[in-house]
Structure 1
């Protein structure tokens, strides 16, 4: 379990560091940054999967595509969804919208809870009902304040949920499926690297930018790979709890980069943070009860052996 916890924390910290990376990208705009991130991530992701043994999933999905070509069309859809999220992840802090993006990551688990209830008929626990109520209060305040909720927030919360649901439905919810999503997006990524002023000349003017782009790909592969591997080694509840570390770090990174929460926005953020807190409490109680059950079972086995 320690290995899973370490991988999950490594993933969250890596994603937080990536927020700060936006300040090292010189004059690259968000489209160019996205393009170079996709291109530089693929080789490191491939190495990571070869090392972890996950590359077998790439081959399995390829065989499925040969048997059912319709799968390629579905992969184009999931590729579009994930690549948009990867673009938005760096676009946010580069354009002073990091807090809105991080709020989307806070809302994401709650949207997934609702999606599970609607699409998979999963029953909400009392804690989850309270959490959803808190989240609804925060979203409701934002709707009352602005007439809408930030598109960045909704794009993360709803877009990622749709992405996860589709991947689960078509059986590509593993690192191999993500590898295909990145590969399919490479032509678009190459196009984006050529946009903007002095697209390639910037690397001549600032050779260190090459190292920054390589670091961008390396960190992306480590973060995403560690996140997927952590889901293998951890109970789902604990994995879910640790995943809340990421939006906390993203929010802190946004504040460190100079963003701020306006006075009228606190009634949006606080209820959503409370919703996350309720889910953390529920998960902690569940883990405690699970530990107690294992402890009692062990005691009963020892008593039985003594008799």
Structure 2
């Protein structure tokens, strides 16, 4: 439980970290995040001497190509999230991660042909109503929230499909290996045109940028340690922790405002999440009771 809380707390604190990186823009932040994450992952693999799983993942097309797709999805997610935070739209960014569980449920129907229970259908329907209300409130589609929800939803789906074949550290390393050439080109271009800040704002700024490798990898490793020990029901409840922290920080520290219409829209989203949570807990209780009964009979 402590591993899980620590992981989601660090993810919830990301907006404050990105603000510290000013005047770096979202493209430079994401490019730096990729390169420093690769360095940090390589150090971890060297220390733990786990080169074999990484080599196996790189050589296996059934592992490498899904992870390459996951890398593209997480790059879109990181870039959109960083743009949202650095342009004063952290509230909408947090909305994306509130909507994400609804996207995951919808993916189960559209891609895996799963059948939804009544409360799940109700939650998805209410989620669509929330998007309509928020679209009216913003005067446009909340594209930051929708891009974050869709990219992370598909990212989670791809990772789940390949998860049994590769461990968390090797998986993250492959993703950063795929993205590193693009990130390096971006950093070179930014340097040539005079827009790179990593080495132009003093040693303090440089090391804060360098810390992005640790800040990216550590929550993922903590999450992996938590996921191996906790039931999926508990993990499902913990996932609301990060966007709630982001939402609170956006209002109290970053000074973003909420209109009545947006409060209504967020309230509808939270109602949908409440229905999903009730359904998840109820289903888990029934499954546990069924397992106990089967154990007693056998």
Q: Does the alignment reach a TM-score above 0.5?
A: yes
Instruction: Please name the residue that 1:122 is paired with.
Output: 114
- 2:60 is paired with a residue whose SS is helix
Instruction: Indicate the larger mover: 195-204 or 148-157.
Output: 195-204
Per-residue displacement from partner, 1:108-139 (whole Å, max 9, x unpaired)?
11111111122222221222122212212201
Structure 2 residue aligned with 1:244: 240
Equivalent residue for 1:188, pick from 173, 179, 182: 182
Q: 1:164 aligns with which of 133, 153, 156?
A: 156
TM-score using structure 2 length: 0.84
Alignment match of 1:223 (pick from 215, 219, 230)? 219
Count of residues paired in the alignment: 293
Q: Secondary structure at the match of 2:141?
A: coil
2: CA distance between counterparts of 1:81 and 1:288? 34
Write out aligned runs for 1:271-282 (5 A): 271-282=268-279
Q: Residues 67 and 158 of structure 2 are in contact (CA less than 8 Å); yes or no, is this contact kept in structure 1?
A: no
Structure 2 counterparts to residues 69-80 of structure 1, below 5 A: 75-80=67-72
Could you tell me how far 1:283 is from its partner in structure 2? 3.1
- Evaluate the alpha carbon distance shift between residue 150 and residue 61 of structure 1 in structure 2; reply closer, same or farther with a 3 A threshold: same
Aligned-partner Cα distance in 2 for 1:159–1:143: 19
Structure 1 residues 57 and 275, CA, compared in 2 at 3 Å: closer, same or farther? farther
Give the Cα–Cα distance (whole angstroms) in 2 for the partners of residues 286 and 201 of structure 1. Answer: 51
SS in 2 for 1:207: helix
Aligned partners of 1:54, 1:239: CA distance in 2, in Å?
Answer: 27
Summarize the Cα distance change of 1:182–1:201 in structure 2 as closer, same or farther, 3 Å threshold: closer
Q: Which structure 2 segments of 5+ residues have no match?
A: none
C-alpha change, 1:133 and 1:259, in structure 2 (3 Å) is same
Cα deviation code 1:18-44 (max 9, x no counterpart): 210112113211111111111111232
Asked if the contact 1:167–1:173 (Cα under 8 Å) also holds between the matched residues in 2, the reply is: no
Q: Which moved more, 1:33-42 or 1:194-203?
A: 194-203
Q: Which of 182, 190, 206 is the matching residue for 1:210? A: 206
Question: What's the TM-score, normalizing by structure 1?
Answer: 0.82
SS, match of residue 211 in structure 2 = helix
Consecutive unaligned residues of structure 1, counting only runs of 5 or more, are: 302-307
Distance in 2 of aligned mates of 1:50 and 1:279: 42
CA distance in 2, matches of 1:147, 1:190: 37
Q: Aligned partners of 1:36 and 1:275: how far apart in 2?
A: 36
Task: Give the CA deviation at 1:150.
Answer: 1.4
Alignment-derived partner of residue 304 in structure 1: none
